[in-house]
Structure 1
Amino acid sequence: MRSRLLNGSRAMVIASAHGLAPFIDRLALRSVLSPGEQDALLALPFDAITIGARRNVTRLGEISSHASFVATGLVGRFGQTASGQRQLTGIHLSGDMADLLSVVRPTGVGALLALTETTILRVPHRALRAAAAQFPAIAEAFWRHCAVDTATLMQWLLNIGRGDAVGRLGHLMCEMAMRFGGEREYRLQFDLPLTQEQLADATGITPVHVNRSLRRLRELKLMTICRKRVDIHDWDGLVSLSGFDPDYLALDIGNRPKVRLLSA
């Protein structure tokens, strides 16, 4: 394990101490891994770096030799037009391996951007391939992880293509509530330090429409955002308005407990 400090943040040192244990927790939501398989994942080498907000984690068309595990912070996956306009196609939270698919396709069709100051653990592709080759259950867990990323992308496409501005934002907040709650529970309060411009890039609307839509959600007494903190006042109402269904998160694999409220 090597650690490299890019901007003086101590978060990187803390993340290094925890290693990849949160990644195992994320895989365990949908896959059963034996103690030996978990030990193999914990033994994976990585290089820890801290990246400032609005800085690239990986660039468009970059050939990567590692996968990026988000230890702290938020990372956005995005595409970009020839004129430079960006569209976020996914948001990765702490515990996500943001580009596991790069193990089999090192040249990404998208790119990764640190939306906040972010600590990344860069895990070599060769080590991930070796673990998958030695343990079929790990390979299957990786496969499921990538499948959920694909399903989430499809849901985002549907949301942007068919949802109105208010519903798009509501849907995004429902997804974030589930994911910040560990995906088997949901949080009614959570920090989401994104700008209105970033929310616009995630929902395919303008920052002006983001402002109007957030005001409408507040008027409907469904949710509010104040100082980057989301407060959902009516979960059922927000779910109904946005048409949110968590099935695309693939929590029906294995024994899935009933989704419940997780206190802040």
Structure 2
Amino acid sequence: MARSQSIQPSNLEHFLDRLTRRSVLTDEEQKAILDLPAYAAQVPANRDFVHLGERVDHVSLVVEGIVGRFGQNSEGERQITAIHLPGDMADLHSVVQPEGTSALQALSTTTILRIPHASLRTLAARFPAIAEAFWRDCMVDASILSQWVVNVGRRDARARMAHLLCEMAIRCGARDKGERQFKFPLTQVHLGNALGLTCVHVNRTLKALRDNGLVTLRGRTVHILDWEALARAGDFDPAYLHADNDPEQRLRIVAAA
């Protein structure tokens, strides 16, 4: 990993944007997040930057690139259990559980920001609304993980692939009513590790989706040609992503509970 460098607060805006999509934060609270100490590091593709069992004293925020979370069995075989995109705090839970129960790997050349646990604890203690926003962020990650379990365990290969592509489109911000496209620089090996499929099966499944006029892949860009058909093929309901919730409405619901 490259040597860490201190960064300017504006580089934390990806994470702040993610939080304010789902939480109401005052100007003071937002400034406090942007003022967090953070140190940038670039990680080459296919390299772990948090190892299984490693005890860390910081969280890793993805700024550029894509990160995979890997689970591992006793024989060293690994599976991707989560994909983290720019703006995602890949291991916010490590603030309360610093010993890694999974590994984090750069799936493409990736820039991460390392933010000390101590700074996040101080921030959460000072601003309860920020602590709640962190809690909600972890809830979204848990909701995504739950859907991944269903995807691998209860859908066939075509539905798994369609569901993953729909999820990635929304998480990457491709929400136009017409053709949706997004950068997704994963290899077929990565896709197989995420979906529980062999590379041959991944190739065959992508070809079928292309032949059916649902998607095309040009370089590292995915073009979704028929969103409704792809969503049906993947049994996809975006509610679990909590991407379209109005944070003001959420605040009213919580206050009324």
Q: Where does residue 243 of structure 1 map in the other structure?
A: 235
Q: 1:30 and 1:17, CA in 2 relative to 1: closer, same or farther beyond 3 A?
A: closer
Note the aligned Cα RMSD (angstroms).
Answer: 2.2
**What's the offset of the Cα at 1:183?**
7.6
Q: 1:184 and 1:248, CA in 2 relative to 1: closer, same or farther beyond 3 A?
A: farther
1:146 aligns with 2:152: no
- Equivalents in 1 of 2:178, 2:82: separation in Å? 19
- Equivalents in 1 of 2:179, 2:225: separation in Å? 11
* TM-score for both structures, normalised by structure 2: 0.91
- Equivalents in 1 of 2:159, 2:64: separation in Å? 28
Q: Where does residue 112 of structure 1 map in the other structure?
A: 104
Q: Where does residue 20 of structure 2 map in the other structure?
A: 28
After TM superposition, what 4+ stretches of structure 1 lie above 3 angstroms from structure 2? 4-7, 15-18, 182-187
- Equivalents in 2 of 1:164, 1:212: separation in Å? 13
Give the secondary-structure state (helix, strand or coil) at the position aligned to 2:70: strand
**What's the offset of the Cα at 1:83?**
1.7
Q: 1:63 and 1:119, CA in 2 relative to 1: closer, same or farther beyond 3 A?
A: same
Q: 1:164 and 1:201, CA in 2 relative to 1: closer, same or farther beyond 3 A?
A: same
- Equivalents in 2 of 1:41, 1:17: separation in Å? 8
- The runs of 5 or more residues in structure 1 that have no matched partner are 257-264
Q: Where does residue 163 of structure 1 map in the other structure?
A: 155
**Contact 2:9 2:36 (8 Å CA) reproduced:** no
Q: 1:213 and 1:157, CA in 2 relative to 1: closer, same or farther beyond 3 A?
A: same
**Contact 1:178 1:187 (8 Å CA) reproduced:** no
Question: Which of the numbers 218, 223, 234 marks the counterpart of 2:210?
Answer: 218
Give the secondary-structure state (helix, strand or coil) at the position aligned to 1:19: helix
- Equivalents in 2 of 1:115, 1:71: separation in Å? 13
1:89 aligns with 2:76: no
**Contact 1:74 1:118 (8 Å CA) reproduced:** yes
The 5 A counterparts of 1:40-119 are: 40-119=32-111
Question: Which of the numbers 96, 102, 117 marks the counterpart of 1:125?
Answer: 117
Higher deviation after alignment, 181-190 or 23-32? 181-190
Q: Where does residue 176 of structure 1 map in the other structure?
A: 168
- Equivalents in 2 of 1:84, 1:221: separation in Å? 38
Question: How many residues of Structure 1 are paired with residues of Structure 2 in the alignment?
Answer: 248
Q: 1:184 and 1:79, CA in 2 relative to 1: closer, same or farther beyond 3 A?
A: farther
Aligned-residue identity in percent: 50
**What's the offset of the Cα at 1:18?**
3.2
* TM-score for both structures, normalised by structure 1: 0.89
1:254 aligns with 2:247: yes
- Equivalents in 2 of 1:18, 1:210: separation in Å? 39
Instruction: Look up the equivalent residue of 1:231 and give its one-letter code.
Output: H
